[in-house]
Structures are given as C-alpha cells and as structure tokens.
Structure 1
Amino acid sequence: MAINRDYLGRVYEAPEPYEVTRGKIREFADAISDPNPVYRDRDSAKAAGYTDVVAPPTFPIILDMEGVGQAVADPGLRLDFSMVVHGAQDFRYSRPLQAGDVVTCRTTVSDIKALGRTEMITLESEIATVDGEHVVTAVNMLVVRAGAEPAEKK
C-alpha cells in the first residue's frame, strides 16, 4: 500500500521542550567517540567563542527522532517500517546547539515521491528555542523499498 499523499504537510509536535544539558552533550560525544573538548569543557568552549559547551553537529538527531517516530507510528500515513531504509540525513544550522538551550521540535512531512515501486518520504524537523530562535533544521529522508512482486495466478 502506498504512503498516504494526503499527509504531505502534516506536522508532528514534540510533546514538551527539550533542555540541552552538558551531561547529555557529553554522553552523545562519548557515544560517537568524539573527544573534542568543546563538547565537554566549558573553558575550552569559551576559548573557542561559545558561551557554554556546544553539541556535536549530529546531536539534533535526538530531537529529530521524536517527530520521525510519531510519523512512522501514525497508521494513517501507511508507512511500512519493515521496508524502510535510511536514505539521507542533513542538518541546516543557524547556530550550534549549546548547553542551556531549551528547544522545541516541529516535524513536517515535506515530501513524498515514488521512483518506480520504491517510495521516499522526507521529514523536516525545525528545532528552535522556546523564544522562537531557529537553531537547526534536521532533514531525514527515508526510502521505503517495494515488497515482493505478487505471485502470478495460474
């Protein structure tokens, strides 16, 4: 069954703001094995021109996955997650996320298209401070592989 094109433009809101903390930034940097001191040490971050430790560039995936998860779980979208592979991920920054930021995330189904029997869905997550300052847009494209061809009737 094809992805429901009526969902183009549908929005999924994070249930509550997310507080970016030094601890979460450090845990993420540890998980990706990045020893950069601006992710761990406030003095190093300040020396680099930041007000506090900054998050690695892929940190917004934590927030992005909330909205993507809501979309994937929405039965009306008709997305067969067992056939999904991750196609692409992109981050468009206005500025880095840093400790002390309190942000919201709003995910929108921005594109649905078919290439033969394969479908692609793009979800864009706008991450902004609770005051409305844009920080980053995470763009996540999923590829929905076609199922097996139906058996011929004899």
Structure 2
Amino acid sequence: MPLDPSQAGRAYPPGPPYQVEREKIREFACAVGLTDPAHHDPVAARALGHPDVLAPPTFLCVPMQHATDQVVLDPELGLDYDRVVHRDQRFVLGRPVYAGDRLTLTVHIDAVKSPAGSDVLELRAEVAAADGTSVATVFMSLVTRAR
C-alpha cells in the first residue's frame, strides 16, 4: 500500500537529546578513514582552537538515524521498513559539532512521492544545541522498493 502523500508537512516532537561523546566521534572518524588528530585527540583539537574533539561533518548521520526511528516506526505513516533503502543524505552545517554537545533533532516529513510504484520519503531534521541555537539541518531520502 503506498504511503499517504498527506503526511508531507508533518513534524515529530524532538526525542531525547543525543549526547555527542568523544569515543563515538573517534569510532566514526576511523570508520570513514579520517586520521586528523582533531577528530581523535582533545589536546590536538584544542591546539587548533576547538573546545574539544571535532566531529566530522557527516557524523550527524548518527543522531539522525536515532531521530528518524520515530518516523519509520510510526504505524500511522505505514512505512514497510523491510523494503526501505537509503537514497540520499545531505547536511547544511551552521556550526561544527564537538564532543560534549547535547543535540536535539526535530524531524519533519518534507515530501511523500510515489514514482514508478516505489515510495520516496523525504525527511529533514533541524538540529539544535542544548541552548537552542541551530547547529545544522540534515536531509535524508528513503525509498520503499516497489513489490
């Protein structure tokens, strides 16, 4: 059954804050092959003017994955997650992310489309720091493959 296009424009309440930890940044940096000490060593990061270990820009896909759980598991949306593939992701950064940040993500459904029998779900998350300032906007597209 196709997704309901009227779900576009819907926003979900923010989930619990995501605590950015040094070790998570290090693990992510290693996974994507980044060896710059700013991503691994707080002393090196501070020597470069950062307050703590610097997260790679694409690190935001980690809290995004947690935040989108409420969307993909929403029975009202009716997404067949067994048939979902990740289509696209992009980041608009307002400021760097550092170890110690507490990030809150508010997820929006920007569009629901059904080209060629597949469903495309376009999501956007507004990422804010603990003080409410904007950190980034993360965009993600998911496709539910046609049967």
When normalised by structure 1's length, the TM-score is 0.86
Conserved? CA contact 2:2–2:114, under 8 Å: no
Shift of 1:143: 1.4
Secondary structure at the residue paired with 1:75? coil
CA distance in 2, matches of 1:22, 1:82: 32
CA distance in 2, matches of 1:140, 1:146: 19
Secondary structure at the residue paired with 2:25? helix
Q: Could you say which residue in structure 2 is the equivalent of 1:42?
A: 42
Q: Which amino acid aligns with 2:91?
A: F
Shift of 1:138: 1.2
CA distance in 2, matches of 1:77, 1:124: 16
Unaligned ranges ≥5, structure 1? 148-154
Deviates more, 1:130-139 or 1:16-25: 16-25
Deviates more, 1:71-80 or 1:47-56: 47-56
CA distance in 1, matches of 2:4, 2:78: 6
Conserved? CA contact 1:12–1:67, under 8 Å: no
Unaligned ranges ≥5, structure 2? none
Shift of 1:79: 1.4
Q: Could you say which residue in structure 1 is the equivalent of 2:57?
A: 57
Q: Which amino acid aligns with 1:110?
A: D
RMSD: 1.6
Q: Could you say which residue in structure 1 is the equivalent of 2:75?
A: 75
Length, aligned pairs only? 147
CA distance in 1, matches of 2:96, 2:145: 34
Shift of 1:74: 0.8
The superposition leaves residues 82-108 of structure 1 with CA deviations (integer Å, 9 ceiling, x where unpaired) of 222111010110011001211111111
Q: Which amino acid aligns with 1:30?
A: C
Q: Could you say which residue in structure 1 is the equivalent of 2:17?
A: 17
Secondary structure at the residue paired with 2:6? helix
CA distance in 1, matches of 2:14, 2:26: 23
Alignment of 1:130-141 (within 5 A): 130-141=130-141
When normalised by structure 2's length, the TM-score is 0.90
CA distance in 2, matches of 1:66, 1:60: 10
